[in-house]
Amino acid sequence: MRQNWHQWNRKAVAVLSVLIIIGIIAAIPVGAERWKVERSSKQVELVFDYRDLLQVAAYKNHPQQYVRDELVKMKAAGIGSMAVYETTLQELKWSGRISLYSSATLSDLQGKPLKQDENYTYLLFNSKPDEDALRPVIEDTFKQWGIATAPWSFKGNNGLAIETPVEDAMLKTMQPDPAAVQMLHDAGFRIVPRLSDRIPYNAEEVDKLMASYEALGVTRILFDGNAVKGFADNAEKKTLTHFAETLNKHGIGISTIENSKPQQGLGTLAYLTHYNVARLYSLPDKDAAGMKPLDIADRFQLAVKDRSIRMFYINAAPASNAAKSSITDPMDNIYKSLEGKDGFLAKLDKLGYETGPALPFDYESPSWLKPLKALVALGAVAFIAMLIQVFLPGVAIPVFLIGLIGSAGLYVLSKSIFEQGLALGAAISAPTLAMVWAIRRVRTHTVGNRRPIGATDGNAAARADGQLRWIFPGITAGRRLLMAVAILATTSVISLCGIPFVVGLLNNITYKLVLEQFRGVSLLHLAPIALTALYLLLYTGDSVIGNIRKLLKMQITVLWVAVAAVVGVLGLYYLSRTGNEGSASSIELTFRNFLETTFGVRPRTKEFLLSHPLFFAGLFLALRYRAAWVLFIVGSIGQLSMVDTFAHIHTPLAISIIRDLLGLVLGALIGLVLIGVWQVLEGAWKLWVPRFFKAKPAPKSAA
């Protein structure tokens, strides 16, 4: 009975292998569709914060003339869009359109006693055009807040008396300054309105506002605050649906800001606008002032090429400079980062992009994708079952069936969790199975094959006089090198088999736009390493049970505790460097820029400088020295990293492919150097050490 079960299990493993191959083939056209999507948006939009420009101008001798001069410089530098916020009385004051007074300051100005128990805001329009443009906007805004306004004048200038303190009045937002919007449009800038959810939603006013933006050529808006417009009233009035319909009617898309907490309602609005979304990178004002122009240009270039960014939002702020005894600003530094042969515009041209309004990715979901993704999912379940079968021999059939049932349940519960769970499982399985295969191949050529059925295995060859053998003679250095090359290549191919499952299962525009993120990346960075170490520890001895018994009987010494502490610290550091949250020193950033400039695509440092070289050298050494097997654990880092590279869905496929191949080739070359150095040192050791440690003659016995 047991023999029959093992035969059925072996047949099941063969079927699982076929299903994995079918899944890989099915993922190819899915990946081709993603490749086409990634090449559909080739325009990059540079946006400047108009409010920041007004703040900088407020510290100049002639603010309005300064604004006009800077707008000309921005056009020349390639900045084609201006972000305009929902305005406030404070911003209108900065722009010189109004003057503001409290009851107290007005009393001083008029030379009259302060009215008893009054703390109002008094506003004067600085010109008749300003009054015509702003009076209805201001009156409507305060009416919505239930704050009374009344006509007021002073020395022939018209204004408004607003029955609320100045501090409160300046907090009330209103639609973007129409006069400023028209002025920027006339100056040749595209307008990017920044709308918030702070103004009560009025469907009629929103439609009217969007129609006016369409007339001005607005193609994209950006949200200000922690929610998109219409989110607060959506539960009661379905305002998000209305806002999306209004945007679609007027051909206006939205933007999502990189490395920021997703604004509430953004995912729903993106779906309702058919993913007419552009990713935006915001350059902080501190970086605009403190970074070198070349570094800013390099950062922008990397964002376009590696992270599918199509909008760049440039901030600026005035700063007090004690060394120069003046107020400074970053405007010249910004222009230098964009212009010239090393500027961002020149780099953009070399990449094949051009400046212009950011376009959405041309995303479609053909009907033939669904059956192909189903095959990919089936292959992922088979991959996971194959991994479990390696550690628990004989369970391939029940594990696969349980996986199918569990996957069906996950699909009903949450399609997103279903896709991410299977993608994560396949991504862990591929590099782990690759490392297990490599360990087995080395073991075959040194210790001998383990037999899953029967009482004996090949471990007798690994022992001499009852002691574990640490050196395996008999294979020449040349043959070991060829075997190491073959094992490295095959191991890498097996690991790369996990990539089609990540690409095929996570082929969704929501991942491309980072509206949804692939969870479980930390587990992907740890599981293959831990499983490789577990396999080395438990599955390369006489038996799993015997190895567990030995581990339980081992005495824990201070040395073991110290080693565990060091491993723990290294593990925490390794995790801190994974993903997009990891930080890098200035030296490392310089090295990264060097790699980017040299190769065009930066290979992952942990792959080509650490894991691949040590794994290659470890394979060469492991065919002779048992102690070198520990380097397989380090090798698993590079194998899993190659799959993890494709878990960054916002990175184009072409970049990820080049990054993996570069890391593998460079790592192999460095590993070859390490092997050469080892051979020289080993030869020197064999040549010189015996000369210093010659056997001494035995002492003569006493007569």
Q: What mean pLDDT is predicted for residues 603-632? A: 93
Q: What mean pLDDT is predicted for residues 681-686? A: 86
Q: What is the pLDDT at residue 477? A: 92
Sequence ranges of the chain with CATH classification 3.20.20: 43-85+178-355
Q: Which helix (H) or strand (E) holds 586?
A: helix 586-599
How confident is the model over 145-179, as pLDDT tens digits? 889 999 999 888 899 999 999 999 998 888 888 88
Say yes or no to pLDDT of 47 above 90: yes
Q: What is the pLDDT at residue 460? A: 47
Say yes or no to pLDDT of 457 above 90: no
Q: How confident is the model at residue 586 (pLDDT cuts 50, 70, 90)?
A: low
Answer yes or no: are the C-beta atoms of 277 and 244 closer than 8 Å.
no
How confident is the model over 62-102, as pLDDT tens digits? 998 999 999 999 999 999 999 999 888 988 888 888 999 99
Among residues 442, 439, 440, the alpha carbon closest in space to that of 451 is found at: 440
Q: Mean pLDDT of all residues in the chain? A: 88
- pTM for this prediction: 0.85
Answer yes or no: are the C-beta atoms of 380 and 59 closer than 8 Å.
no
Q: What is the pLDDT at residue 573? A: 60
Q: What mean pLDDT is predicted for residues 227-243? A: 92
Q: What is the pLDDT at residue 567? A: 67
% of the chain residues with pLDDT over 90: 65
Q: What is the pLDDT at residue 9? A: 87
Say yes or no to pLDDT of 373 above 80: yes
Query: Pairing mode, if any, of strands 319-321 and 326-328?
Result: antiparallel
Task: Report the Cα 169 to chain-centroid distance in Å.
Answer: 40
Which range is least confidently modeled, 77-81, 257-261, 369-373? 257-261
Q: Across the chain, which distance is largest between two alpha carbons, in Å?
A: 134
In angstroms, rounded to a whole number, what is the distance separating the alpha carbons of residues 657 and 662?
9
Backbone angles phi, psi at 49, to 5 degrees: -80, 110
Q: What does the buried/exposed string (b/e) look like for 522-536 if buried means 16 or more CB atoms within 10 Å of the residue's CB?
A: eebbbbbbebbbebb
How confident is the model over 110-153, as pLDDT tens digits? 778 777 788 999 999 998 988 988 999 899 889 888 899 999 99
In angstroms, rounded to a whole number, what is the distance separating the alpha carbons of residues 596 and 237?
50
- Write the DSSP string, 384-453: HHHHHHHHSTT-HHHHHHHHHHHHHHHHHH-HHHHHHHHHHHHHHHHHHHHHHHHHHHHHHHHT-PPPSS
- Write the DSSP string, 551-579: HHHPPP-HHHHHHHHHHHHHHHHHHHTST
In angstroms, rounded to a whole number, what is the distance separating the alpha carbons of residues 677 and 655?
33
Torsion angle defined by CA atoms of residues 338, 344, 346 and 349, in that order, rounded to the nearest 10 degrees: -130
Q: What is the pLDDT at residue 696? A: 52
Q: In this predicted model, which residue has the larger pLDDT, 505 or 686?
A: 505
Q: What is the pLDDT at residue 202? A: 87
Among residues 208, 363, 191, 212, the alpha carbon closest in space to that of 276 is found at: 363
Which range is least confidently modeled, 285-299, 537-551, 638-652? 537-551
Among residues 649, 652, 657, the alpha carbon closest in space to that of 504 is found at: 649
Say yes or no to pLDDT of 463 above 90: no
Distances in whole angstroms, Cα of residue 3 to Cα of each of 17, 162, 420, 452: 21, 91, 37, 11
Say yes or no to pLDDT of 342 above 70: yes
How confident is the model over 640-664, as pLDDT tens digits? 999 999 999 999 999 999 999 999 9
Q: What is the pLDDT at residue 684? A: 86
Answer yes or no: are the C-beta atoms of 422 and 381 closer than 8 Å.
yes
Helix-strand-coil percent breakdown of the chain, rounded to 5? 60, 10, 30
Q: What does the buried/exposed string (b/e) look like for 454-492 if buried means 16 or more CB atoms within 10 Å of the residue's CB?
A: eeebebeebeeeeeeeeebeeeeeeebbebbbebbeebb
CATH label, 43-85+178-355, candidates 2.50.20, 3.20.20, 3.40.710, 3.30.460? 3.20.20
Say yes or no to pLDDT of 196 above 80: yes
Give the pair of three-digit tokens for residue 202.
Answer: 């009025």
Where on the phi/psi map is residue 327: left (φ > 0), alpha (ψ -120 to 50), or beta? beta
What angle, rounded to 10 degrees, do the helices at 396-413 and 415-446 form? 160
> Amino acid letter at 230?
G
Q: What is the pLDDT at residue 354? A: 94
Q: What mean pLDDT is predicted for residues 547-563? A: 71
The residues that bridge with 204 in the sheet, in sequence order, are none
CB-side exposure of 656: number of CA atoms within 13 Å? 23
